[in-house]
Structure 1
Amino acid sequence: MNRRKNRGKAAFWAIVIIVAAAIVGLLFMKKGGRGKEEQAKTVKVERMDIVEKALAVGSIVPRNEISVKSKVSGVVEKIFAEPGTRVFAGAALIEVKPNPTPIEIAEARRQVEFDKIDFDNAAKELERSKKLAAKGLISDKAYEDSDKRYRETALKLEMSKEKLALLEKGRALVAGREITSIVKSPISGYILEKNVNIGDPVVPLTSYQAGTVLMTIADMDSLLFKGTVDEIDVGKLEIGMKARIKVGALPGKSIMGTLERISLKAKEENSTRVFPVEISIDSVGTTILRAGYSANADIIVRKAEHVLGIPERVVYYRGDSTYVMVPGPGGSPKRAAVETGLSDAINVEIKSGLSEGDEVLEKPEKTI
């Protein structure tokens, strides 16, 4: 009885081992079949355009962007234009109402009084000098000195009056020209930003302080692409090269430009050395560009048009030799030496060794 049981168990395990071996054999056969199929895949030699490019990453910016500031301290009283508005040079933007302290007003009034006294004294002295000069009792130089002092005190008095008028009223007449606290546009363009509201304090622009930025204005008819190029590619670039600019916010659209500046100094970005570049935009056509759009630019380094080419992935580089594998007699792979030309890292130009329409074997996939 035991013998029968042992024989049954042995038969069962024998069947299991045979089935397992059959499954493994089938898997290997399928795998081998797939390998042969993959090795048999080919690509054709075709005519194509191959472009070597250098990538620049950056954004669209105005060529001329100006921060508008006031030369008078005070508070914002009126705003005449809002962001997005097109203004012309000389247009009123903001009126700044002077907001002097009581001490500043008092000092300005006292200065006018002091200057008036100096002017009156100089006028009397000049009158005396005229009488004495008429009698020949003083020299010409003494008379000229009196006249000079009179004119200087008159000018000083006029300036102190103008300063007082600006502090009290926000406007004054200087040399026949009205000076006001209304800030005007220095250029024609679009208002990009408004940085103040009515009632906000304004610090004036002087030689020792930057002053409050009231608005930002830019000429949106003249735009630039400003970005950076990796140090690996910068040695290939030359001023005047064409570039195709792609804006992230405008998918499917591209704009042509011309490389006009390459920085002589690198800068560090994310542990990588890059060189700033500027590309002028040739024409936007009907495309509406906005300042600050992020963009990429493909700077065209070299271009080969309507040349024979194949995917670079099928090319073998071994030392000084370059070759591809082509179907040989009976379908067995055969080596064919080729001379390559321009590459865009995807396709490569074939200068010799293959003809249009020839088939080239794909490289077999590596299996683990």
Structure 2
Amino acid sequence: MSKRAKIILAIVAVLFVAILVWLGKKNQKSIVTYETEKPFKATIVKKAVATGKVIPLEEVEIKPQIAGIINKIMVEEGAIVKAGDLIATIRVVPNEQSLQSAKGRINSVQIQLNNAKVQYDRNKKLFDKGVISSQAFEASELAYNQAKNDLRNAQNDYQIIKRGSAGSSGANTNIRATASGMVVEIPVKKGYQVIEANSFNAGTTVATIADMSKMIFEGKVDESEVGKLVKDSDIQVSLGAIEGKKFPAKLNFIAPKGTEENGAVQFKIKADVTLDDQYFVRAGYSANADIVLEKKDSVLSIKESLLRFDKKTEEPYVEIKTGEEGKFEKKTLKLGTSDGVNVELLEGIGAEDEIKIWNKASKEEKKS
């Protein structure tokens, strides 16, 4: 073998050895180190959130006493009124058939009155001459007085049908407030036709008056949480229109019967809201209520993101650091209350154990 061939063979051998060494280092598995975290003390509050709105505790609908057309509205929405204040006036549009019937009754009663007067006048002359007894005279007098009274009633009925009132006061055509408060809604306008409340109809609402100093939260909670609610418990109400402010409230009503909505059973709740004079809370504001279901003060806790669940038993577990470098040991846990971020630790590990933070390896591992 020539000297040149030997040199080439030696170079090939060195390169082969270098490649083997490089491949060996590349395939050698380095120790993966993970960041760890210890359990900590925390206050865990489990809450339920109810969505709803704030509405006045006392709200009164003002309805007319007679059917007709709105002639004039005396107040605007937002006005403060007292009981008895004039809200609107109504112009009566009489029913033609009823009007003619009432007019016919007047004519009929007038005929009876004329006849009763003739008999009364005749009997009075006879009584004064002593021809008839006082009993016969009194009977004709009674009939005459009764006929006059019937005429007055018939005339009053006619005026009520025609104008909505028998006198000049117009009591039936004047719509007045029946309670004190703020006018929160006027659903009608001038020219609207309205009807009175009766046995077959609720009547037309002319205005709604509410006491804006007393507001309640009305919302709904899911059936999975309603069993944990306690009447008279304190809650916090947040309004969508007022950022960064929570109003204290006291739960005073939990519905005994739920309603199904979108496949889930919802239960109505109500709470008295304590208002702040710095804020004007309008009726109908959308709101959320934070209801404390359970609270644990200063308990040993871990982050829920550290938890894993066994595929077979579905029990929660974590991996804690052992004495050997890069080695972790699986520990099954018993958990308590959770707020969605932290969870109470009852059994399984101690306060000094170091828990593996999943998906957070050291910088060396990331580089490799």
Q: TM-score range by the shorter chain?
A: 0.7 to 0.9
Q: How many residues align?
A: 333
- Secondary structure of the residue that 2:101 maps to in structure 1? helix
Aligned to 1:90: 84
**RMSD between superposed Cα atoms in Å:** 4.3
User: Partner letter of residue 73 of structure 1?
Assistant: A
User: So what's the TM-score if we normalise by structure 2?
Assistant: 0.72
Aligned to 2:255: 263
1:230, CA displacement in angstroms? 0.9
Distance 1:360 1:154, change over 3 A: farther
Aligned to 1:70: 64
C-alpha separation in 2, matches of 1:164 and 1:272: 58
Spell out the pairing of 1:217-236 with structure 2 (5 A cutoff).
Answer: 217-236=209-228
1:45, CA displacement in angstroms? 0.4
1:288, CA displacement in angstroms? 2.1
1:239 aligns with 2:231: yes
1:347 aligns with 2:342: yes
**Structure 1, unaligned runs of 5 or more:** 1-10
C-alpha separation in 1, matches of 2:297 and 2:115: 88
Spell out the pairing of 1:1-368 with structure 2 (5 A cutoff).
Answer: 36-37=33-34, 40-46=35-41, 48-116=42-110, 157-173=151-167, 179-315=171-307, 324-329=318-323, 332-334=327-329, 340-350=335-345, 358=352, 360-365=354-359
% same residue: 27
User: Partner letter of residue 293 of structure 1?
Assistant: Y
User: Partner letter of residue 338 of structure 2?
Assistant: S
| 1:15-59 Cα shifts (integer Å, max 9, x gaps) | xxx8xx98xx59x97xx85xx34xx1325503x332222221211
C-alpha separation in 2, matches of 1:213 and 1:136: 58
C-alpha separation in 2, matches of 1:256 and 1:62: 16
Is the CA contact 1:59–1:296 (under 8 Å) kept in the aligned structure 2? yes
- Secondary structure of the residue that 1:179 maps to in structure 2? coil
Aligned to 2:5: none
1:110, CA displacement in angstroms? 2.6
1:161, CA displacement in angstroms? 3.1
User: So what's the TM-score if we normalise by structure 1?
Assistant: 0.72
1:93, CA displacement in angstroms? 0.6
Is the CA contact 1:45–1:354 (under 8 Å) kept in the aligned structure 2? no
C-alpha separation in 1, matches of 2:216 and 2:45: 23
Q: Rg: which structure is higher? A: 2
Distance 1:339 1:95, change over 3 A: same
Distance 1:320 1:76, change over 3 A: closer
C-alpha separation in 2, matches of 1:120 and 1:310: 102
- Secondary structure of the residue that 1:298 maps to in structure 2? strand
**Structure 2, unaligned runs of 5 or more:** 1-11, 362-368
Is the CA contact 1:324–1:360 (under 8 Å) kept in the aligned structure 2? no
1:155, CA displacement in angstroms? 6.2
Is the CA contact 1:172–1:180 (under 8 Å) kept in the aligned structure 2? no
